[in-house]
Amino acid sequence: MSTLKQQLKSDVVTHMKDGNKVALATLRNVLGEIETREKSGKVPVELDDLQVTSLLQKEAAKRRETSAIYAEAGEPGRAAAEIAEAEVIEAYLPQPLTAAEAEAIVDDVIAGLEASEGPLAMRQMGLAMKPITARIAGRFDGKAVSDMVRKRLS
């Protein structure tokens, strides 16, 4: 079992004891979504931390979008409840990178690849993107990273 999933399960017990109903309900919903994803294919799978983090990002974004819809519809109470759930989920996400940190990772990986492979051309973007994506792992916008790599290779 992934360590992030274990953390979520242990925090359910903690929130149950503390009586924190919002966090408890949110974590139960997220764990249910994880379980659904694990059992949805032909063969059951176990999600790793990277996949759980991706799912958490999607769930937080979904709640933020729903909050905006409620706010536009004149339902501030429901919008606030969605924001509260999104904040509970976001507490489990890794700290996002700044643009400078992401650019430093891009430069570092490309420099390492150029040292071993020689100068990289634009057609080798995939070769660079794989290790960069692994190091950034959902902590920075993927399209922005792709643009950084494209700019660096051109």
| pLDDT tens column, 52-99 | 888 998 999 999 999 999 999 999 999 999 999 999 999 998 888 888
Max CA distance (Å), the chain: 59
pLDDT over threshold 70, residue 2 = no
Same domain for 84 and 25?
yes
Taking Cα atoms as reference points, which of 90, 96, 88, 4 lies closest to residue 47?
4
When the pLDDT of each residue in the chain is averaged and rounded to a whole number, the result is: 89
| The total number of structural domains that make up the chain | 2
Taking Cα atoms as reference points, which of 112, 102, 114 lies closest to residue 147?
102
pLDDT at 64: 92
**DSSP code for 97:** P
What secondary structure, in 3-state letters, does 116-146 show?
HHCCCCHHHHHHHHHHHHHHHCCCCCHHHHH
Same domain for 29 and 82?
yes
pLDDT at 123: 84
CB within 8 Å of 46: residues ≥ 6 apart: 1, 2, 38
3-class SS of residue 20 = coil
**DSSP code for 42:** S
- pTM for this structure? 0.71
Alpha-carbon distance of 104 to 123, in angstroms, equals 22
Which of the listed residues 39, 68, 90 is the one where a domain comes to its end? Answer: 90
- The 10s digit of each residue's pLDDT in 10-38 is 999 999 999 999 999 999 999 999 999 98
Which of the listed residues 41, 73, 90 is the one where a domain comes to its end? Answer: 90
Instruction: Tell me the residue range of the domain where 27 lies.
Output: 3-90
Same domain for 50 and 122?
no
Return the residue matching tokens 């994803």.
37
Same domain for 41 and 71?
yes
The CATH number of residue 77's host domain is 1.10.1510.10
b/e per residue 1-13 (b: at least 16 CB within 10 A) = ebebbeebeebbe
Total H helices, total E strands in the chain: 7, 0
